[in-house]
Amino acid sequence: GLEELDKERNYKEISGLFELAPQTDMVIDDRTWHDLNMDIVFSRVDRTFTWPGIQRLYQLMRSPEIKNVGKIGERTAMISDLQTDSKLREDVQVILSKMDARVGSGLCTLLWGNPEVDPVHPLWLYRIMFVLALLSPLLLLVSVRYTIAMLFIFQVNMYLHFKVQKRIRSHFEGVRSLRQLMSISRKMAGIRSECLEKLLSK
């Protein structure tokens, strides 16, 4: 069988597109998915370069086309074209490799979800720490003994900053990923291929 590519997979983030985007009538429920150890199967099938790619692959595997024979035929034809046309396959791989694989997990939330971030701490705390950080250098005019207090204030502010940044990072990465995806789409549209023209026209 296929060997599993050695890369980290956060299935909570990978399943984001499947959870948020409109679903088809035929989906594999969570219990069946885990009973069949489909995460292991997915990890062996996964050869994607990008976050949108890995999320789309997961969505396809959770939403198998059983009744729509026409769509199955279209996918089979596209896969066959990529397998037989080495130049087309390499051109697509080169373009996709330009997308930063480290970002993009929040793209589906940006497009289909409702990006909301609850405050980690009360807002008054941020205001107080901002004022203290702004005024703390004045303590040095009183005495250098307040240096430790000033450093403590800045350290607390840094902690609050990185705590919030960690919570909202995926939303900013989603915007960045969307920009990259639009750029890649323009480049993909420039490839002359009947297979891609059919795919991009949908």
Q: 10 Å Cβ neighbour count for 137? A: 12
Instruction: Compare 43 and 146 and report the one with higher pLDDT.
Output: 43
Averaged over 21-41, what is the pLDDT? 91
pLDDT at 73: 84
What's the pLDDT tens digit per position in 125-173?
Answer: 888 988 888 888 888 788 878 888 888 989 998 888 888 777 777 667 7
Average per-residue pLDDT for the chain: 83
Q: Per-residue pLDDT for 95 more than 80?
A: yes
pLDDT value for 58: 95
Q: What is the pTM of this model?
A: 0.68
Task: Label residue 33 by pLDDT band (50, 70, 90).
Answer: very high
For the chain, how many residues are written?
202
Mean pLDDT, residues 51-72 taken together:
87
* Nearest by Cα to 36 from 64, 76, 7, 9: 64
Query: Using CA atoms, how far apart are residues 38 and 128, in angstroms rounded to an integer?
Result: 50
Q: What percent of the chain has pLDDT over 70?
A: 89
Distances (CA, A) of 25 to 30, 31, 64, 89, 181: 15, 17, 10, 32, 28
Q: Please determine, for residue 1, whether its predicted confidence score (pLDDT) is greater than 60.
A: no
Out of 54-58, 81-85, 157-161, the most confident range is 54-58
pLDDT at 200: 60
pLDDT at 34: 93
